[in-house]
Structure 1
Amino acid sequence: MDESIDETLKQGADTVELVTQTAIELGMTYGPKLLLALFVLVIGFWVIGILLRGVDRALDSAKVDATLTRFLHSIISVVLKLLLIVVFASMIGVETASLIAMLGAAGLAIGLALQGSLANFAGGVLILLFKPFKAGDIIESQGYLGRVREIQIFNTILLTLDNQRVIIPNSLLSNGCVTNLFCEETRRVDVTFGISYEDDITKVKKLLHDLISSDERVLKDPAFEIYVSAHADSSINILTRCWVKSEDYWPMHFGLIEKVKFAFDENDITIPFPQRDVHLHQAN
């Protein structure tokens, strides 16, 4: 009985000694690598923090949109940290070739599955970076006219003039035609008025000249213009062109139409409507 216990204790002591020896060997072999890898990991995170702060300052100096700045900050942070973790794993002896291949395959699969979203993301980056329009601008695109409420990474939100919300994918805006109606300080107001063939063109042009020149919203430079633009089916068309500040465009446009109607009525100038003369010939 005593001999059995002694044998068991001896086997246990041998096992502890073997484990201890193995641990010491592993520590001697991998300890320096692990310590060095941990040191590189800590320094790497510190360097990444410095780089991200530098990127933020550069984007802020370039006046990049805050939404794009935050998104680029996150993307750069994730990419750099993944690279650092791969380096760390390689330093401690982990086989990284298969890991990189797996990450590449996963990235390719995700890219193919989200190619539409990635196109919208790329469009959003281009819009926020080059700023063809900004929040608050009135634009026309994809058959919609409205004020830009918000530019997101994947979509742009418009509020139409009758206050409907329209969400347009950024890929369509970045690759399609966009009209920014009031991005410039001034705009030209073009309005055409029809008069009858019996009316005095010189009198009408003088009347229009007096109406436009008396309006304080009309800019002196460039000077406004009045032309006979067409001999239409039922009217002589008079085209007026005047320059105003962008915020005065619609008030001037609609106000001029109203003023001209009152002035034409007071001066017995006819605003014709489409008509057709029918001649009947009696057969012999």
Structure 2
Amino acid sequence: MDMNAEQMQEIIDLYVIPWGINIVMALLIFIIGRIVVNVLVGLFGKVMSKSKWDDMLIDFVKSIISAILMLFVIVASLDQLGVDTTSLVAILGAAGLAIGLSLQGSLQNFAAGVMLLVFRPFKAGDFVETAGVMGTVKSISIFTTIMTTPDNKEIIVPNGKIYGDNIINYSAKDTRRVDMVIGIAYDADLLKAKNILNEMVEADERILKDPAPKVAVSELADSSVNFVVRPWVKSEDYWGVKFDFTEAVKLRFDQEGIGIPFPQMDVHLHKADSE
């Protein structure tokens, strides 16, 4: 009986107490480490918010940082328990490499999404042309950008294609220049037509005075004398001015007797002498 008690005491001294201490220390490392990680991630989030980063990007970066820091905490806790963390880290590294190779396309879209959210070449609500499509940006996520076309079709574009292509942001500036080409017949009164165009430009309140609009003869084409009409407008008035002005020019020229020609071809027939 005494031998059994001695054996039990020896087991407690050699195994139970050291393992109990290690378990308690591992739990303390995990709990304290988790608290420290939450504090650091929270501080990082506040710093990023002051930098006016996108909320989606802030949340995503916070989750990545939190996961990385918690991985260190878990490794430290397991090391306290005597687990061979060197092999564990090697396994995690190999698994990460394999996952990265299998998800190359997704990682490219992810990297492009981060760049779009950081540098902000466009934002939700902007009308842009990129990756072969044109539309209003509805939302920007980490992997894709959702756009709505003028005829109300929804397009989901991978961020990698957007960041690797030219981006034309039609909403980036407050003003835009409307470029219109208007042709008149060769026998029409050129100066009269030019004065009419200048009057119409002056009469439209949506057309800005500064920069000054431009009306000029640009080309003596095959079937017409072409004017360029280039007024500056607010970006939101672009299509309204373009459509309204084009219609108004046709109606006004009809009233003034100024012809707007269409392509023509003169065919000359030559009668061959008979034998």
Class of the TM-score when normalised by the shorter of the 2 chains = over 0.9
Structure 2 equivalent of residue 5 of structure 1: none
Shift of 1:84: 1.0
Shift of 1:50: 1.1
Q: 2:107 aligns with which of 95, 118, 132?
A: 118
SS of 1:71's partner is helix
SS of 2:271's partner is coil
RMSD: 1.6
Q: 2:78 aligns with which of 81, 84, 89?
A: 89
Q: Does 1:247 align with 2:236?
A: yes
**Separation in 1, partners of 2:268, 2:130:** 48
SS of 2:259's partner is coil
Shift of 1:31: 4.9
Give the percent of matched residue pairs that are identical in Structure 1 and Structure 2: 45
Structure 1 equivalent of residue 144 of structure 2: 155
- 1:185-244 Cα shifts (integer Å, max 9, x gaps): 000011110111111211111110000011111111110001111121111110000101
- 1:65-86 Cα shifts (integer Å, max 9, x gaps): 1111111111111111001111
Structure 2 equivalent of residue 63 of structure 1: 52
Question: 1:250 corresponds to which letter in structure 2?
Answer: W
Structure 2 equivalent of residue 210 of structure 1: 199
Shift of 1:114: 1.0
Specify every segment of 5 or more residues in structure 2 that has no aligned partner in the other structure, as ranges.
none
SS of 1:250's partner is helix
User: TM-score scaled by structure 1?
Assistant: 0.91
**Separation in 2, partners of 1:252, 1:267:** 22
- 1:120-152 Cα shifts (integer Å, max 9, x gaps): 111111111111111111111122111111111
**Separation in 1, partners of 2:82, 2:236:** 67
**Separation in 2, partners of 1:280, 1:25:** 118
* Correspondence list, 1:1-284, <5 A: 10=1, 14-15=3-4, 17-27=6-16, 29-284=18-273
SS of 2:63's partner is helix
Shift of 1:59: 1.5
SS of 2:28's partner is helix
SS of 1:127's partner is helix
SS of 1:275's partner is coil
**Separation in 1, partners of 2:52, 2:3:** 70
Shift of 1:279: 1.3
Shift of 1:89: 1.5
**Separation in 2, partners of 1:140, 1:213:** 31
- 1:240-275 Cα shifts (integer Å, max 9, x gaps): 001011111111000100110011001111111110
**Separation in 2, partners of 1:161, 1:16:** 86
- 1:84-113 Cα shifts (integer Å, max 9, x gaps): 111222233211110000000110111111
Say which one has the larger Rg. Answer: 1
Specify every segment of 5 or more residues in structure 1 that has no aligned partner in the other structure, as ranges.
1-9
Shift of 1:163: 0.5
SS of 2:179's partner is strand
SS of 2:178's partner is strand
User: TM-score scaled by structure 2?
Assistant: 0.94
**Separation in 1, partners of 2:36, 2:100:** 29
**Separation in 1, partners of 2:170, 2:54:** 21
